[in-house]
A and B are shown apart, each in its own frame.
Chain A
Amino acid sequence: MQGKSMIVDTSLCTACRGCQVACKQWHGLPGTKTKQTGTYQNPPDLSADTYKLVRFAEGRKEDGKPYWHFFSDSCRHCLDPGCMAGDQNNSIVQDKRTGAVLYTQGTRKLNYRAVREGCPYNIPRQDPRSKVLCKCDMCIDRLRDNMVPACVQACPTGALHFGDRRRILHKVALRVVELKKHYPKARALNPQDVRVVYIVTDDPDTYFELAEA
């Protein structure tokens, strides 16, 4: 199965957070109460109410000028999902057509901690009320109707790009070559293992410590 894939090209991301909000809009997820703690990043983390989160990381480059990295974080939809490892009763499934990793209502019976620890990107979250586990579902209902995921639809700059996996991997390779001319550190993160492939132009951990597995 080739299925679908997504590029997250951080070199094009402006952190407008269209993806973060479009995800909430489509899924009917609430805005939660947050506090300003000295960062643009809010809510602070993924949760049962937030499947897509733009992470912000800043620092100072060698020349003394600042950098500000944006990382539109969500489920990578692994080809061999670690979160499924301990699931005996098909409550976590991979969609045949797209390869999307989907959490069903049955996940309420799973060991949350084990599922979360099985994910190298720390994505799964539990709804504290229903105990159901949740995360990005690749907008599977949109895909069925030939729409792209809500986050991809919203993205202004093409930082998020969706399509057939073979084509996407080809584009990733081309883009990395192009970026390397100006950014020697440019590369794709775990492209062979995940469906949501991030392209970075700096060390991955300067974006987010779990950017790469």
Chain B
Amino acid sequence: MTNHWIDIINSDCVLIMGSNAAENHPISFKWVLRAKKKNGAKIIHVDPRFTRTSARADFHASLRSGTDIAFLGGMINYILANRKFFQDYVVNYTNGAFLVDQGFSFSDGLFSGYDATARKYDKATWSFQKDAGGVVKKDPTLKDPRCVLRLLQKHYGRYDLDKVSSITGTPVEDLKAVYEMYTATGKADKAGTIMYALGWTQHTVGTQNIRTMAIIQLLLGNIGVCGGGVNALRGEPNVQGSTDHCILYHILPGYMKAPNVAMPDLNSYIQTCTPKSDEPQSANWWGNYSKYIVSLLKSWYRDAATQDNDFCYSHVPKLDVGQNTSIMNTFDLMYEGKMKGYICLAQNPACSMPNAGKVRQALGKLDWLVHANIFDNETPSFWHAPGMDPGQIKTEVFLLPAAASIEKSGSLTNSGRWVQWKYVAAQPPGQAIAVGDMVYRLVAKLKELYKKEGGTAPEPIQDLYWDYGDGKGGFDPLATAKAINGFFLEDATIKGKAYKKGQTVPSFGLLTDDGKTSAGNWLYTGMFNLAGENLSARRGKADPTGLGLYSQWAWCWPVNRRVLYNRASVDPAGRPYNPARPLIAWKDGRWVGDVPDGPWPPMANRQKGKLPFIMKPHGVSSIFGPGLVEGPFPEHYEPVESPLPGNPMSGQRINPAVKLFKGAADPYAINDPKFPIVCSTYTATEHWCTGAITRWMSWLTEAMPQAYVEISRELAEAKGIDNGDKVRVLSKRGAVDCVAMVTYRLRPFQVQGKPVHQVGMTFNYGWRFPPDAGDSANLLTPTVGDANTMAPEYKAFMVDVVKVEEAKHHAG
């Protein structure tokens, strides 16, 4: 979230799309409904299904799964055609006025530079015109046909109401109603927020779904302001923290790029990764890259890391250029027998991965699998799943008993980036220990073995600083938290102030690239103050702005800034665009309110002032976004499995940059009449993800006991299915038996003049427990994902639904 949970109360219009917030982030609705009471905010829910969120929304519009870009593209068209955008904001704070390279073009679903064989773009023309000094050419009048806003208008002019409706299946009146309500926030004193979640990310066009909305938010001036923002409602208790710490192949802690072979030494890494800008008023914060990477290396390798040895940069593994080792690729290799060992901590891929049947087979091709959790689940127990013959499965499995969150101290980072410390309420049962204890012990043992016996490449392990023990065999969470925050490793005087060796660094502004500071994650630098106090444990309730910032409750990254890009909430002179909700303001030569995005004066000060989007090289936010692989403007493409033979928008049926898996275990149902029904997967309030935890809790399984498929009355009638009937849902990859829930809350869509049916299932179940719960909906989902992130497509694929007796009859 650019903003935070409480800030939703400051909104004038809450759009919930790609999310079922009332069910999956129930406490968010405290703030959604208060926005309604306090500001008369309109609550809009756009979702294929009428859910508990829709029940409390002012307006629900349904759309066919996988058509969000068409829906939102229509909104961009509406904004531009009706001049609903916030012109000052667009001109000053976005690249809307930038002139785009003359070679950039778009035709029949493809942008300039496409290589069909490689399914990849050469992005050379996705760039801006520059003057001799390297500064981007702009037209603040927004009239130049090559300026971003005019190109945007041209691109989305194609998304008229009838066209959009014929793709999404949303009635034209509903489109108009949503567009009108939401775009009313394009005024200086109004704010609209978007609450989205995995309903947007888990598509082959996931990142572009979010981009489309980000463009809308920029056009309406809704980013950086109270009650606005682009708010990803993250799905797990610490998925914000685990992402910040980058348990991910492609980034290092603090969102730094994982090195590849084109960056053989530290200098080339820094040169490649540090963005450059000649824009005179751009802060270009990533210009500090060198300080953050060196401080990370110092935290990993401490005394072993010196200027002379590139701070042990060579110890960090290097990918090949373009190598993608994200999870679907990993399991593909595992299925081919190319992985030997797998460490899987507190995650249940046997139910959570797409095409879970393939995943379960893949686990049987490992030499060994390590799993830690608080309950058993389908992953460590894959070898005795129905249909498996343990006598034929070689995989050694370690199932390690873990302490629950209430049995260990440490911090969790919520979706609003608040880091909150918690304490030990009870000892874990039996032999259970914290996952951190396991990792600590395992690495300590490896260090011992390499020291004693040597081995291949022992240095990265031997040199690793690992003094995080609690003296009792486990790890010390507080000592680890301090290492993440970072220390002054030597006495130092920075910006005229003296710091002592061993003190915790109170702000990432003080990190250096000469090896005198460490920081396990620069974003978390400042969680401890200079005195070593843990700010994440704070419980101060003061709220002087009255905007719900609660700046003394816990601590949030970066530097306790509660709303990101807050300098976009003021005009170039530093005056709040909305005086009723002044997030920050420039008063008497200083900023008041939230921690501003940098200390500089407002940008009207041409010498010292800075542009608000400090993490972007040019200081402005991107309406034209050349960073993504499939284009600088989002374009509608059909899901890989779709009810349509083609794409009504162009000759490109699917995302031109998406990776398709070619193995026999990964078939796709493309224009396959055997699978005529769109299916989407999701979760319910009462369970969490695969149910690996919640299925063991009787109060929750009582409320949601067994797998079900939600079916419209119309489809049920056509199929002769009654409510509560046992049915089989089949895809090209598998079949799941479950209970039919026949409902008014789904309705057939009219798409391209024909009815299209959609059904939905939760992915909360698995065979392991309770015994009669039913198996995972992911036995059905396809191995294909977002072209940028490889987040799997769980939300749109094709199935059929039949009554179980009939299925047996067909089989017989």
Contacts and interface: CB of A to CB of B under 8 A. Distances in A.
A156 B705 contact: no
Interface stretch (B283-291, B442-450, B742-750): B742-750
A38 B741 contact: yes
Contact of B702 (A13, A32, A58, A68): A32
A33 B702 contact: yes
A119 B475 CA distance: 58
B740 A157 contact: no
B803 to A, nearest CB: 13
Interface string A20-51: 11001100001111111111101100000000
Name the residue among B53, B699, B738, B745 with the largest chain A CB count within 10 angstroms: B699
Given A37-B724, A60-B744, A156-B30, A14 B699 contact: no
Interface in B19-45: 22-23, 26-27, 29-30, 33
B29 A66 contact: no
Interface in B683-718: 684-686, 697-708
A15 B52 contact: yes
Contact of B705 (A13, A34, A65): A34
Nearest to B59: A65
Interface residues of B, number: 41
A42 B30 CA distance: 24
A65 B60 contact: yes
A16 B52 contact: yes
Contact of B699 (A24, A40, A158): A24
A38 B724 contact: yes
A17 B703 contact: yes
A38 B723 contact: yes
A54 to B, nearest CB: 9
Given A14-B22, A16-B26, A67-B55, A36 B698 contact: no
A157 B739 contact: no
Name the residue among B22, B703, B738 with the largest chain A CB count within 10 angstroms: B703
A12 interface: yes
B202 interface: no
Contacts of A3: none
A59 interface: yes
Contacts of B23: 14, 16
Nearest to B174: A65
A21 B699 contact: yes
Nearest to A69: B55
Contacts of A118: none
Interface in A51-100: 58-60, 65-70
Given A38-B742, A66-B50, A31 B701 contact: yes
A13 B703 CA distance: 17
Nearest to A14: B22
B744 A59 contact: yes
A31 B698 contact: yes
Contact of A14 (B50, B55, B684, B701): B55
A30 B745 contact: no
A156 B27 contact: yes
Nearest to A50: B702
B699 A25 contact: yes
B55 A21 contact: no
Interface residues of A, number: 36
A153 to B, nearest CB: 13
B56 interface: yes
A18 interface: yes
A37 B739 contact: yes
Nearest to B745: A66
A31 B700 contact: yes
Nearest to B27: A156
Interface string A111-126: 0000000000000000
B704 A42 contact: yes
A158 B703 CA distance: 22
Nearest to B62: A65
Nearest to B707: A36
A15 B56 CA distance: 10
B55 A43 contact: no
Given A18-B26, A66-B745, A157-B33, A36 B699 contact: no
A37 B724 CA distance: 5
Contact of B54 (A21, A24, A31, A68): A68
A14 B740 contact: no
Contacts of B699: 21, 24-25, 31
A42 B60 contact: no
Contacts of B697: 31
Contacts of B698: 30-32
Interface string B661-687: 000000000000000000000001110
A68 B52 contact: yes
A31 B704 CA distance: 11
Contacts of B54: 66, 68
A139 B360 CA distance: 47
A60 B713 CA distance: 11
A67 to B, nearest CB: 7
Given A13-B56, A38-B723, A38-B742, 20 more contacts: A14-B26, A14-B55, A16-B23, A17-B703, A18-B26, A30-B698, A31-B698, A34-B702, A36-B704, A36-B705, A36-B706, A38-B724, A58-B744, A66-B50, A66-B747, A68-B50, A68-B54, A156-B27, A157-B30, A158-B30
Closest 10 CB pairs of A and B: A31-B698, A31-B702, A38-B723, A38-B724, A36-B706, A16-B26, A14-B22, A66-B744, A31-B699, A36-B739
Interface of B: 22-23, 26-27, 29-30, 33, 50, 52-56, 60, 684-686, 697-708, 723-725, 738-745, 747
8 contacts: A14-B23, A14-B53, A17-B703, A20-B703, A36-B741, A38-B741, A38-B742, A157-B33
